[in-house]
Amino acid sequence: MINRDDLIASRLPIYDTDYTRLTLAIQDAPVATPNPQRDPTGVAELIQRERIALPIQKGLFQPEPQSKYAFLFMAGFLIFAKVVLDSTFFTIVTLLMMVCSWGSYVFRERRRRQRIQQAWANGWLRVAPALIGDLTPKSDTSAKHIAKGQRTTCTAPTLVLSPKGEWIPVKEQLLKLNRTPDARGLRIAESGVAPAVDPQHNNGWVLYLAPYGEPVDQGAIAVNLAADDEARIFSHIARTWQLPGQNTDERWWEKS
């Protein structure tokens, strides 16, 4: 059973995620203009009334754990080109190619995320609470980073709660985690065991962004919301949504 007091944000230090599916789902939507259809849950109206921002651009500029190795490789390559090949022209051209490649990626990703921010502000996203399941490290190194509370990347199954109190499993989410002082309470998938998520076994709540008029599993989680803004949305949902626990099948996850 889910209590209304349980609907609070997770302590997972998520700083970024993969927005590819959500970007594709809203590519034809007129996100620059307000959605004429009213959100029956009232969350979109709350976001517009309180002018709650979705600062998902922040994660784009935070270097990933493996970035330092890529930087060292590029630095070593440039030194090799300068010292061994003794070619200033080749070094400059290579450096410009690297800068242009990275700049092009950042520009494209910023444009994609700006559309998501427009969709958020104009009511083209349906916001729902979701449970994050067992964390699955992307590699052995990632597993060590999670255990030590260091910055890392992992995936996790996700369970979205609908306004009618129904659970909707969606595709696993990519999570980029910041450092955390205490990683002992995190649920991590055991090697060789499929990661799970249910109301009793999870890593807490997040907010999930579902594209308006598209399948729910084409969405993504919201990251970097201000704590007060996140709390206001969860508080609204806790007061107004139907929560699980009123039907006879509320402990479905314990059935074989």
User: How long is the chain?
Assistant: 256
* pLDDT of amino acid 144: 77
Residue ranges per domain, the chain? 4-247
* DSSP character at residue 135: B
Do the beta carbons of residue 91 and residue 74 sit within 8 Å?
no
Residues 6+ apart with CB under 8 A from 151: 64, 65, 145, 176, 177, 178, 179
- Give CA torsion, residues 237, 208, 135, 13, to 10 deg: -80
Q: DSSP string spanning 146-192?
A: HHTT--EEEEEEEEEEPTTS-EEEEEEEEEEE---S--TT--BPPTT
Where are any strands of DSSP class E within the chain? 14-17, 125-132, 136-137, 152-161, 167-177, 205-211, 220-221
**Per-residue pLDDT tens listing for the chain (256 residues):** 677 888 888 878 899 999 999 999 999 999 999 999 989 999 999 999 999 999 987 655 555 544 555 556 666 666 666 666 666 766 677 677 766 766 666 667 788 889 999 999 999 999 999 999 999 988 777 777 777 778 888 999 999 999 999 999 999 999 998 887 666 778 888 877 889 999 988 999 999 999 999 999 999 999 999 999 999 999 999 999 998 865 544 444 344 3
* pLDDT of amino acid 36: 95
* pLDDT of amino acid 4: 80
* pLDDT of amino acid 17: 93
Q: What is the spatial distance between Cα 28 and Cα 39, in angstroms, rounded to a whole number?
A: 19
pTM here is: 0.80
* DSSP character at residue 64: P
